[in-house]
Amino acid sequence: MPNFEVVTAVAAPPGQVFAVCLDVEAHTRSMTDSSERAVGGKTRGELALGDTVTFQARHLGLTWRLKARITCYDRPRCFVDEQESGPFKRWRHAHHFEPDGAGGTIMRDVIDFASPLGSVGRIVDGLLLRRYMRRLISIRNAYLASTFD
């Protein structure tokens, strides 16, 4: 099961960071390099438990659609989004927010995913996608953190 974790320090309290991470428009602004946009479900505002959003974006030279649902919601500590339909066999993204003791937040993203196509998908995951997705999440987090500067 491919997975990775990205840890980001943010100069804002957990409640504020939690809210911006659930904001559909903030997410799409953080992904401008891949022309990501919300095309279905809740396309504006802050997502809540049970909400779905479908994003369309260009990654690795192809246009993809991913429909995700918020399956866990524990404000301001954690939320989880999981793919309902899209390019992955499995996609689960847990977002954790912990106070850093100085008024800021340690944001920890834990991603578990798998590509389709069995052993070929596992090879692609190991050689390409884990690194690509880690970079994508890091770029997203840097953008979101910069909104509090």
Alpha carbons 90 and 26: distance in angstroms, whole number? 24
Query: Phi, psi at residue 82, to the nearest 5°?
Result: -130, 140
**pTM to 2 decimal places:** 0.93
Strand ordering across the sheet containing 105-114:
3-10, 105-114, 90-99, 78-85, 62-74, 52-59, 37-41
pLDDT digits over 81-137, tens only?
999 999 999 999 999 999 999 999 999 999 998 888 778 777 777 777 888 999 999
Nearest of 102, 79, 75, 74 to residue 12 by alpha carbon: 102
Helix (H) or strand (E) holding 58: strand 52-59
Q: 69: which 2 tokens?
A: 């649902």
Domains, the chain, ordered by start? 3-146 (3.30.530.20)
